[in-house]
Amino acid sequence: MAPPSERVVRVAVLGCGNVGAALVGILGDRSGALTVQSGARLEIAGIAVVDAAAPRPSHVPRPLLTSDATGLVTDPSVDVVVELMGGLEPAGALVRAALDAGKPVVTANKALLASSEGVALRALAAERGVDLLYEAAVAGAIPLVRALRESLTGEHITRVLGIVNGTTNFILTRMAEQGAGYGDALAEAQDLGYAERDPTADVEGEDAAAKAAILAGVAFGYDVAGDDVAREGITGIRHADVEFADRFGYVIKLLAVVERAGEESLSVRVHPAMVPREHPLAGVRGAFNAVFIEGATAGELMLYGQGAGGLPTASAVVGDLIDATRNLLAGTTAPAPDRLPARLLPTQDLVTAFYLALDVVDRPGVLAAVTAAFGEHGVSIRSMEQEGRDGGARLLFVTHRAREGDVLATLADLRQLDAVGAVTGVMRIVELP
Amino acid sequence: MAPPSERVVRVAVLGCGNVGAALVGILGDRSGALTVQSGARLEIAGIAVVDAAAPRPSHVPRPLLTSDATGLVTDPSVDVVVELMGGLEPAGALVRAALDAGKPVVTANKALLASSEGVALRALAAERGVDLLYEAAVAGAIPLVRALRESLTGEHITRVLGIVNGTTNFILTRMAEQGAGYGDALAEAQDLGYAERDPTADVEGEDAAAKAAILAGVAFGYDVAGDDVAREGITGIRHADVEFADRFGYVIKLLAVVERAGEESLSVRVHPAMVPREHPLAGVRGAFNAVFIEGATAGELMLYGQGAGGLPTASAVVGDLIDATRNLLAGTTAPAPDRLPARLLPTQDLVTAFYLALDVVDRPGVLAAVTAAFGEHGVSIRSMEQEGRDGGARLLFVTHRAREGDVLATLADLRQLDAVGAVTGVMRIVELP
């Protein structure tokens, strides 16, 4: 076989935003090392953009820019396609065209992967025997997908807990450490460029839900779409919840959770949770991401790193690109996770401990009425605390493990009580493994 | 090609201690899944032990036990060898025989890998084009070696900081959190089975040094032997150091450090260090391990998990065994790190911040004399604190970044001063990235 320096693999880059531009930079700067690692010289065949005339960083070679993405992908001289456009279309159609032509695809597009089209694309790649690699789509630079796909391939994974959205983790860290309110912390995240002007996708948990769906595939081999993930965001978290968490040794984190629920059933969800301060996830601060994996033999593992940003994301893309190139030269593909049909556990059947906060009227007999409601639904109270507050009182409860449906039924009953003004906080609690 | 269930790969297991017995259990319990993942049925050809008549867990099939390890390794029907005996010999000769016969080897033997024979074995595997895989040798179940070898293969890694010895991390956690003295914490670790009766290899940093040497190979592509790693253990850490660390926002950890020092030079060392409380390594508690990686494009990454124990270590062995089997069937090998000759930076040329503690006589002019000694060697003081203690005083210093040789020269001068009773603490400080 020819030495690596004489073999050329031509790469089509779709999209030239932060990640695309960083990738083009790395391919230029580290070309010698990448040739050694991948077994071929990686040559950029073209960079597809919407507007080829728009201003670009100076290291992006202008002659390579094209607005004809389809022409680039179907160019017979192109060997590998890297999709960094984001969004469902035209990204989906271009990835499909590449796979159809037998060309390996590397993508960072979590929205696409978590859509029904993404599920179909994974099936297509398997059918054609072509690599579809997406390390960068979950938790950015963290080598999570490969760890799950290869190192832990023999492992019976029972649960994955992820902090997979840097924006919300930044906001929650500010609320916990600086005592900031939600609005101020969000505004700071926006000023620093961590949050979009319209932060909905982050703060409502949509981004994390897409990643949870992808994790269900990679860690458990089930096909799950982002839209099917039970989801609750962080907009309802109040200063009082943060204070309670701190006083009782917890830190509030927005978690993407994927866990086995019986033989062929899976719970996939995104919600804020109280995490014990001794848990490794509690120490994940600012815009960092981390994924905590519980396995039957490996025990507890956590992978931590930068979940976003041009360079870190591009670094994950480069790892996949090397992989795809090596596999292409060797005529093999990377092991792909199974794509089993998922049976999702309804959230009401989840069993977990809860934190609950109620505003009540401060008068005799109230506590008895409240605790009776718990008892009626079989929800057992682990600890209770009462705080006086002008005229009324706030009751804070931590329950033992209880079925979520029973806790919701308890809350519905409590809301009927005259003495209960409002349910001001409901949050699941993560227990130490 | 035959379906996976009809292909058989025969595995020789050398050693049947905790890890070996756990491996045999996993190969039995999860045989269906492992067949799918590896592409062949993994059949144990034999289990080499010193005493085939000794008692074993009931799941270990007695007919497979043999005391003829050499015969097992050279048995033509054996395809893959898993070495879990530990120690330099006969493990080294058996691994050599397997590689010589073109058989892939999976090993968890850090002592062997960090020896000069280990360096030679890595060269032999490369020469023969045979896999020599050792995920389990550093940080147990943590998928570190594969992350460095594959995901981060395109990454310019600048520094690796590892908590790679669970015993010492357990002891240091107890000293920090329960205020235990070193002796009591060690005794507790011994009672719990975390520390050996003779704890030297752990507490003097020998075990961590072997892992640092292996990390230098995997993360940076340099051949380093464990004996060449600069090493300092935890036996000299006093309660006063732990208290100072806590008061100033640090946690003391025993770190294995590998970092680039100029173009072709590397610093590889093991020593206790003060780690800022906000650093992810500071939250690694008890017997857990973690490795913090700093890369030019990926940024900061950390991988966390169980560093020892039969099942977690066996889980890493299983990942390698699947890899070796897949590669064997595909006629390829896993990418192996470079084996460049290492130029090691002498520790005196290291530049870092220091914590220093001196017992001094409490009289006028002492502080002036002490600070003059710092100034003479160009060591700049960032903060100083004085504590009175019966008749004398203790001076606690944090320096700015300084050359280690200059700090040692300063300490030598200080020891000459009549007013200085003793240098009671010297520790490097890790700065936040």
Taking the CA of residue A368 as centre, how many other CA atoms within 13 Å lie in the half-sphere pointing to its CB? 3
Under CATH, domain B152-305 is a member of which superfamily? Dihydrodipicolinate Reductase; domain 2 (3.30.360.10)
Q: Does A84 touch chain B (CB under 8 A)?
A: no
Per-residue pLDDT band for A5 (boundaries 50, 70, 90) equals: low
Query: Tokens 């000023």 correspond to what residue?
Result: A191
Q: With contacts defined as CB-CB under 8 Å, which chain B residues touch A301?
A: 141-143, 303-306
pLDDT digit string (tens) for A320-367? 999 999 889 888 888 888 888 889 999 999 999 999 999 999 888 888
Closest Cα to residue A232, out of A260, A197, A256, A261? A256
Measured at the CA of A78, the angle between CA A74 and CA A82, to 5 degrees, comes to: 90
Contact B199, B190 (CB under 8 A): yes
Q: With contacts defined as CB-CB under 8 Å, which chain A residues touch B154?
A: 26, 30, 33-34, 37, 315, 318-319, 321-322
Nearest-by-CA chain B residue for A135: B151
Over chain A, what is the mean pLDDT?
93
Helix axes B18-29, B310-330, angle to 10 degrees: 60
Q: Does B156 touch chain A (CB under 8 A)?
A: yes
pLDDT digit string (tens) for A48-64? 999 988 999 999 999 99
Q: Who's near B79: CB < 8 A, 6+ residues apart?
A: B9, B10, B11, B103, B104, B325, B328
User: Is A140 in a helix, a strand, or coil?
Assistant: coil
Query: Tokens 């790649």 correspond to what residue?
Result: A125
Per-residue pLDDT band for B140 (boundaries 50, 70, 90) equals: confident
Q: A4-141+310-339 sits in which CATH class?
A: alpha beta
CA distance A244 to A395: 11
Per-residue pLDDT band for A33 (boundaries 50, 70, 90) equals: confident
What pLDDT shows up at residue A56? 93
ipTM for the complex?
0.90
* Range of lowest pLDDT (A41-45, A121-125, B192-196, B231-235): B192-196
- Take residue B343 and report the two structure tokens written for it: 């130029």
What pLDDT shows up at residue A4? 67
Strands B41-48 and B65-66, sheet pairing: parallel
Measured at the CA of B298, the angle between CA A56 and CA A129, to 5 degrees, comes to: 85
**Other C-beta atoms lying within 10 Å of the C-beta of residue B234:** 26
- Take residue B16 and report the two structure tokens written for it: 């049947």
The verdict on a CB contact (< 8 Å) between A301 and B142 is: yes
Contact B295, A26 (CB under 8 A): no
Per-residue pLDDT band for A37 (boundaries 50, 70, 90) equals: confident
How far is CA A400 from each of CA A43, A61, A239, A274, A381, rounded to the nearest angstrom?
58, 60, 24, 14, 6
Q: Does B178 touch chain A (CB under 8 A)?
A: no
Q: Does A335 touch chain B (CB under 8 A)?
A: yes
The verdict on a CB contact (< 8 Å) between B30 and A306 is: no
* Average pLDDT for B25-47: 91
| CB-based burial label for B329 (10 Å; 0-12, 13-18, 19+) | middle
Contact B94, B87 (CB under 8 A): no
Measured at the CA of A169, the angle between CA A405 and CA A408, to 5 degrees, comes to: 10
Give φ, ψ of B63 to 5 degrees: -65, -20
In this predicted structure, the answer to whether residue A70 has a pLDDT above a threshold of 70 is yes
Contact B144, B135 (CB under 8 A): yes
In this predicted structure, the answer to whether residue B427 has a pLDDT above a threshold of 60 is yes
Over chain B, what is the mean pLDDT?
93
Return the residue in A34, A59, A150 with the most chain B beta carbons within 10 A, the one to mutate for interface testing: A150
Nearest-by-CA chain A residue for B331: A330
* Range of lowest pLDDT (B25-39, B68-82, B311-325): B25-39
CATH topology of domain A347-428: Alpha-Beta Plaits (3.30.70)
CATH topology of domain B347-429: Alpha-Beta Plaits (3.30.70)
The stretches of B192-228 forming alpha helices (DSSP H) are 200-203, 206-220
> Which DSSP symbol is given to B227?
G
* Average pLDDT for B178-202: 94
Q: With contacts defined as CB-CB under 8 Å, which chain A residues touch B290?
A: 302
- Nearest by CB to residue B319, choosing from A151, A283, A318, is A151
Query: Tokens 């992989």 correspond to what residue?
Result: A323
Chain B neighbours among A 181-240 (CB < 8 Å)? none
How many Å is the maximal CA-CA distance in chain B? Answer: 87
Give φ, ψ of A229 to 5 degrees: -85, 125
CA distance B389 to B421: 13
* Range of lowest pLDDT (A106-115, B96-105, B335-344): B335-344
Single-letter code of the amino acid located at A123: A
Please measure the distance between the N-terminal and C-terminal CA atoms of chain A and give it in whole angstroms. 51
Q: With contacts defined as CB-CB under 8 Å, which chain A residues touch B26?
A: 154, 297
Closest Cα to residue A323, out of A127, A147, A146? A146
- Nearest by CB to residue A33, choosing from B150, B154, B284, is B154
Q: Is A211 a catalytic residue?
A: yes
* Range of lowest pLDDT (A86-90, A155-159, A265-269, B234-238): A155-159
| CB-based burial label for A291 (10 Å; 0-12, 13-18, 19+) | buried
Closest Cα to residue B262, out of B400, B401, B158, B403? B158
CA distance B136 to B112: 13
- Nearest by CB to residue A151, choosing from B146, B283, B285, is B146
What pLDDT shows up at residue B263? 77
Per-residue pLDDT band for B37 (boundaries 50, 70, 90) equals: confident
The verdict on a CB contact (< 8 Å) between A302 and B302 is: yes
What pLDDT shows up at residue A146? 85
Single-letter code of the amino acid located at A44: I
Q: Which residues of A170-180 are buried (b: 16+ CB within 10 A; e: fewer)?
A: bbbbbbbeeeb
Contact B357, B424 (CB under 8 A): yes
Closest Cα to residue A269, out of A221, A342, A213, A349? A213
Q: Who's near A341: CB < 8 A, 6+ residues apart?
A: A222, A223
- Nearest by CB to residue B315, choosing from A22, A34, A298, is A298
CA distance A317 to A104: 13
Could you tell me the strand order of the sheet in which A132-133 lies?
A: A65-66, A41-48, A8-14, A80-83, A105-107, A132-133
Residues in a beta bridge with A272: A254
Query: What is the percent of chain B where pLDDT is above 70?
Result: 99
What pLDDT shows up at residue A3? 66
- Nearest by CB to residue B330, choosing from A278, A316, A332, is A332
State the Cα torsion A149-A87-A171-A289 to the nearest 10°. 20
* Average pLDDT for B417-427: 91
CATH topology of domain B4-141+310-341: Rossmann fold (3.40.50)
Give φ, ψ of A246 to 5 degrees: -65, -45
In this predicted structure, the answer to whether residue B3 has a pLDDT above a threshold of 80 is no
Q: DSSP per residue over B169-187, as a string?
A: HHHHHHHHHS---HHHHHH
In this predicted structure, the answer to whether residue B2 has a pLDDT above a threshold of 80 is no
CA distance B128 to A33: 23
- Take residue B346 and report the two structure tokens written for it: 């002498």
Residues in a beta bridge with A259: A159, A267
Please measure the distance between the N-terminal and C-terminal CA atoms of chain B and give it in whole angstroms. 51
Q: With contacts defined as CB-CB under 8 Å, which chain A residues touch B34?
A: 154
pLDDT digit string (tens) for A281-319? 999 999 999 999 999 888 999 999 998 889 999 999 999
What pLDDT shows up at residue B307? 87
CA distance B249 to B240: 14
Single-letter code of the amino acid located at A164: V
In this predicted structure, the answer to whether residue A1 has a pLDDT above a threshold of 60 is no
Domain parsing of chain A, residue ranges = 4-141+310-339, 147-305, 347-428
Query: Tokens 């090392």 correspond to what residue?
Result: A33
What pLDDT shows up at residue B364? 83
The verdict on a CB contact (< 8 Å) between A323 and B150 is: yes
* Average pLDDT for B99-119: 96
Chain A neighbours among B 292-311 (CB < 8 Å)? 295, 297-306, 309, 311
pLDDT digit string (tens) for B358-400? 999 988 888 899 999 999 999 999 999 888 777 788 999 999 9
Q: With contacts defined as CB-CB under 8 Å, which chain A residues touch B312?
A: 297-299
- Take residue A41 and report the two structure tokens written for it: 């010289």
Q: With contacts defined as CB-CB under 8 Å, which chain B residues touch A319?
A: 150-155
Length of chain A counted residue by residue: 433
CATH topology of domain A147-305: Dihydrodipicolinate Reductase; domain 2 (3.30.360)
pLDDT top residue among B251 and A36: B251
pLDDT digit string (tens) for A206-228? 999 999 999 999 999 999 999 99
